[in-house]
């Protein structure tokens, strides 16, 4: 072959490569316009904001080729039906707390929080590194869903009560709005649990339909105004040590995504997860001071109440594991990590925080 023929062939090869590369790249950025229904009202900007953070990063990473329009609770479906809408394909995805659907299968709760479960850092460790997300997606696949962690509130407060509850006897017959599996646990010690969406809690508490209510913590609770009708603010929220929010995709829609879009979704969800926790940690201290200034009376749950609730939780888990192999498999994996994790956290983490908190109480920092 003559030199000019070799160069000509090489030129054609390069041109051909360039021509072929363009469609391949274009295929990784198809035009998608999706809808996401939230379980939360827009007024709760931090928790609703998790969906907005996710959508913003997806759009920016795809240069606007993949857009996700968010809808607040009630705009498409009620907040407690968000996962149903995603599963059925009414919307492509939702942003929700998986434990809202634990009544269908208790395994749902393990994705968010179970009583006396994991804190925020432990949840992240289990979900991202310990195989938790993989285990949960085995379950979600049976529900036509695929989930990614996308938010956390940190350990929550124990709720607002019309009267003080120093003993288990004081909780008998108490009607309380409480989310997730916490309701089943607290029912064992005499409380009557009520599952009510966030925007409907205040009127129920104001009218006396319920006697107590928990939501998240100081920042959201101040917005919802619970202190006006139930002055006793208890802690800690033992049923929500590290409640994780998820974006739940319709499984078929998730499977249709290109590898590039799946990677972008995973990164955007991780950013939403980090940012929500940061937002709450920044906003809660000031909100707590405001609540106390407005008359909120802080109360710790007594050791008697905590012990009774822990025992009720252990009893419940034994029952559920005997009935549901998927729950048993996932719970046991989480619980094994919980035991080892607290072996570590009681050393440096606990002692450092305790020392610094003593300094804070003594006005030395």
**Distances, alpha carbon 168 to alpha carbons 74, 234, 303, in Å:** 36, 14, 10
Cβ 78 vs Cβ 157: under 8 Å: no
Query: What DSSP designation does 129 have?
Result: I
* Tens-digit pLDDT profile for residues 284-338: 999 999 999 999 999 999 999 999 999 999 999 999 999 999 999 999 999 999 9
Name the pTM for this structure.
Answer: 0.90
How many other CB atoms are there within 10 angstroms of residue 104's CB atom?
11
Residue 180: pLDDT band with limits 50, 70, 90: confident
Runs of H (alpha helix) within the chain: 3-27, 45-61, 82-88, 107-110, 120-124, 132-141, 182-187, 201-207, 218-224, 251-256, 259-293, 303-323, 325-345, 348-361
What are the structural domains of the chain?
25-153+242-282 (3.40.190.170)
pLDDT score, position 23: 52
Residue 9: pLDDT band with limits 50, 70, 90: very low
In the predicted structure, residue 248 carries a pLDDT above the cut 80 = yes
């Amino acid at each position: 072959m003559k030199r000019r023929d070799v160069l000509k062939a090489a030129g054609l090869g390069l041109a051909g490569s360039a021509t072929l590369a363009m469609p391949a790249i274009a295929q990784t950025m198809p035009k998608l316009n999706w809808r996401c229904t939230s379980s939360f009202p827009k007024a709760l900007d931090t928790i609703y904001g998790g969906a907005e953070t996710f959508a913003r990063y997806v759009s920016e990473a795809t240069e606007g080729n993949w857009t996700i329009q968010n809808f607040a609770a009630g705009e498409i479906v009620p907040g407690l039906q968000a996962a149903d809408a995603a599963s059925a394909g009414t919307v492509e995805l939702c942003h929700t707390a998986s434990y809202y659907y634990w009544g269908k299968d208790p395994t749902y709760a393990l994705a968010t929080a179970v009583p006396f479960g994991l804190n925020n850092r432990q949840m992240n460790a289990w979900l991202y590194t310990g195989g938790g997300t993989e285990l949960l997606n085995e379950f979600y696949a049976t529900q036509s869903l695929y989930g990614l962690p996308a938010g956390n509130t940190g350990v929550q407060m124990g709720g607002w009560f019309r009267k003080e509850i120093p003993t288990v006897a004081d909780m008998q017959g108490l009607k309380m709005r409480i989310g997730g599996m916490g309701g089943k646990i607290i029912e064992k010690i005499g409380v009557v649990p009520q599952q009510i969406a966030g925007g409907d809690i205040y009127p129920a508490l104001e009218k006396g339909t319920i006697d107590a209510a928990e939501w998240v913590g100081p920042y959201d609770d101040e917005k919802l105004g619970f202190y006006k009708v139930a002055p006793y603010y208890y802690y800690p929220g033992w049923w929500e040590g590290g409640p994780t929010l998820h974006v739940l995709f319709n499984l078929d829609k998730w499977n249709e995504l290109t590898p590039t879009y799946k990677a972008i979704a995973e990164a955007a969800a991780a950013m939403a997860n980090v940012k929500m926790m940061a937002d709450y940690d920044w906003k809660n201290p000031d909100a707590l001071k405001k609540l106390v200034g407005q008359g909120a009376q802080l109360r710790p749950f007594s050791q008697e109440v905590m012990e009774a609730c822990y025992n009720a939780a252990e009893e419940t888990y034994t029952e559920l594991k005997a009935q549901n192999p998927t729950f048993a498999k996932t719970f046991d994996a989480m619980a094994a990590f919980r035991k080892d994790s607290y072996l570590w956290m009681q050393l440096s983490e606990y002692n450092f925080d305790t020392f610094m908190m003593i300094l804070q109480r003594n006005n030395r920092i």
